[in-house]
Copies of this chain bind each other. A is one copy, B any other.
Amino acid sequence: MSSEKKYSKFTTEFKVRPDDIDLFNHVHSSTYFDYVLAARFEQMEQYYGMSMEEFLKQGYGWVVKTAYVDYKRPLGLSDYFTVTTGIIELNDKGCRVEFNIKNKKTHKLCCDGWFDYVLIDNQTGRSMKLTGKMIERYSI
């Protein structure tokens, strides 16, 4: 995938839930994945005007193809944090989304990385080509 286009970045705020805390008394390492997922779902609805629910109704889903996460500092119980995400590459097979998670109080970086998402047909589980309309909606 390659692209020279500059896409928008969006920021969503959440709070650590008690059940997110693990045996090291910090947010569990795999839970940051779920925070990014939650942020993208919010942002798809709020900013891209095509929510995951809409994709699901049409029989499509977005699934993670590749994930890369670099952990810097853990979040702890009841911490508020922001998840900033933005597409860095987009084509008719999917997109790469960069993200960072920051502690809202300290403004320090907790983790960052990227995800490659592909569009799938939920019946067959096979990857699908994005329609022109989808690409247009997400090219902001």
Residues of A at the B interface (CB closer than 8 Å) are 17-19, 21-26, 28-31, 33-34, 37-38, 41, 45, 51-53, 56, 61, 63-71, 74, 77-78, 122, 125
Across the interface, which residues of B come within 8 angstroms of A77, CB to CB?
23, 41, 52-53, 56
Are A66 and B70 touching (Cβ within 8 A)?
yes
Number of copies: 4
Are A31 and B29 touching (Cβ within 8 A)?
no
A32 CB to closest chain B CB (Å) equals 8
Q: List 9 A-B contacts (CB under 8 A).
A: A19-B22, A23-B77, A24-B63, A30-B33, A52-B77, A53-B78, A64-B69, A65-B71, A66-B69
Tell me which of B21, B29, B70 contacts A33 (CB under 8 A).
B29
Are B78 and A24 touching (Cβ within 8 A)?
no
| Most central of A19, A45, A63, A78 by chain B CB within 10 Å | A19
